[in-house]
A and B are shown apart, each in its own frame.
Chain A
Amino acid sequence: AQKVTQAQTEISVVEKEDVTLDCVYETRDTTYYLFWYKQPPSGELVFLIRRNSFDEQNEISGRYSWNFQKSTSSFNFTITASQVVDSAVYFCALSENMEYGNKLVFGAGTILRVKS
Chain B
Amino acid sequence: AQSVTQLGSHVSVSEGALVLLRCNYSSSVPPYLFWYVQYPNQGLQLLLKYTSAATLVKGINGFEAEFKKSETSFHLTKPSAHMSDAAEYFCAVSGSAGNMLTFGGGTRLMVKP
Does A associate with B in a complex?
no
Q: List A residues at the B interface (Cβ < 8 Å).
A: none
